[in-house]
Amino acid sequence: MITAGFEYHRPTSLDEALMLMERYGEGARPLAGGTDLVVRLKDGRDEPGAVVDLKGIKELERLEASDDALLIGALVTFTDIIESELVREKLPLLWEAATNVASMGVRNRATLVGNICSAVPSLDSGPALLVHEADVLVRGPDGHRRIPITEWFTGPKRTALGAGELVTGVAVPLPRDAHAGCYVRAGRYAGEDLAQVGAAALALEGDRYRVAFCAVGPVATRARDIEAVLNGRPLDTDIIEEAVTLVPDEIAPITDIRASKEYRAHMAGVLLTRALRTAASRLAGDGPGYGERVV
């Protein structure tokens, strides 16, 4: 039960929503699927002045491709992503990451934008958005901003979003070259639990690789030093082993109720190996299908 008192607004346009964000300032909380926010309200961990429910704003439901990017509006849920042929065809790594989120019940409500706004270190969408070099699309009192996802996460549950701003969507560039990816995560059990560790690898033709992790540091991050070792060399066991030796320098895991820092550090290497091998084999037209378990 929610016992805190707050104003509730359900604007039907972005302009109206932005006016409300300005009116309530620090006390305003945008509401998308509510799978994070409503839990916080019920626990009494948050006492906003106003909840600005975005679900009446049609333009935030957009899920569409342009020539060079896929636009995912702020009301697009993980179920929308999983059911989208467009995402499955153009960005199968993101599709695979979406299939890893919680349970169908949560995915039916939870949005990808809510996921990045919550900015918990274990967010499943983070690694895929990082390796695809997505931009976060923001509207606020000073107009539009486009924030690279690499600059979005500023700390646990903290983002680059400014006062009075709303995220309208995420733009994910469509790679021009042939590509294949893999997102793999470790969890305590199947179902509604956050990742203990998550790793994404994106393989691009010409022996180029991008790698990112979640749940092994304060924010989800690209692993640039590992990418430098991988790039330009045909992937083999020696190169993967070399990459795995760099994992401790790329992550800063902690111990919490889900896993010890030692387990996380070990599993980051294991998952990196699986993600790289799977991405490379998928690029070669082989390997397990997207969504099939590789760990």
Ligand X SMILES: Cc1cc2nc3c(=O)[nH]c(=O)nc-3n(C[C@H](O)[C@H](O)[C@H](O)COP(=O)(O)OP(=O)(O)OC[C@H]3O[C@@H](n4cnc5c(N)ncnc54)[C@H](O)[C@@H]3O)c2cc1C
Helices (H), 119-183: 125-131
The answer to whether 37 contacts ligand X (rule: CB under 6 A) is yes
Interaction of residue 114 with ligand X, rule CB under 6 A: yes
Query: Which range of residues in 27-35, 79-87, 143-151, 269-277 is near ligand X by CB under 6 A?
Result: 27-35
Q: Which amino acid is at 105?
A: G
Which one of the spans 3-11, 106-114, 252-260, 275-283 is the region binding ligand X (CB under 6 A)?
Answer: 106-114
Token pair 């995560």 is at which residue?
Answer: 185
Bridge partner list, 153: 159
Q: Does 36 bind ligand X (CB under 6 A)?
A: yes
Q: Write the CA distances from 164 to 70, 134, 142, integer angstroms.
A: 26, 22, 9
Among 39, 104, 178, 228, binds ligand X (CB under 6 A): 39
Q: Which stretch binds ligand X (CB under 6 A): 4-12, 25-33, 243-251, 254-262?
A: 25-33
- DSSP H stretches of helix in the chain: 14-24, 37-43, 78-83, 85-90, 92-99, 104-107, 112-118, 125-131, 224-230, 237-245, 247-250, 261-283
Residue 32 vs 243, nearer CB to ligand X: 32
CA distance 209 to 181: 9
How far, in Å, CA of 32 to CA of 149, rounded?
20
**Residue (of 83, 72, 82) closest to 114 by Cα position:** 72
**Residue closest to ligand X when measured from CB atoms:** 114
The yes or no reply on residue 50 touching ligand X (CB under 6 A) is no
Work out whether 30 is an interface residue with ligand X (CB under 6 A): yes
Stretch that binds ligand X, among 114-122, 143-151, 171-179, 262-270 (CB under 6 A): 114-122
Q: Give how far Cα 49 sits from Cα of 8, 38, 88, 204, 258, Å.
A: 9, 14, 39, 47, 33
Provide the minimum distance between the beta carbon of 110 and ligand X in the complex, in angstroms, as a whole number.
Answer: 3
Q: Please, which residue, 175 or 198, has the CB nearer to ligand X?
A: 198
Q: Does 269 contact ligand X by CB under 6 A?
A: no
Residue 13's identity, in one-letter code, is S
Structural tokens at position 194: 């956050």
**Per CB under 6 A, does 123 bind ligand X?**
yes
Fill in the per-residue mask, 186 to 225: x = in contact with ligand X (CB under 6 A), - = not in contact.
------x-x-------------------------------
Cβ of residue 230: shortest distance to ligand X, in angstroms?
26
Tokens matching residue 118? 């919550």
Q: How many chain residues touch ligand X (CB under 6 A)?
A: 30
- Interface residues with ligand X (CB under 6 A) are 29-37, 39, 54, 74, 101-102, 106, 109-111, 113-115, 117-118, 123-124, 161, 166-167, 192, 194
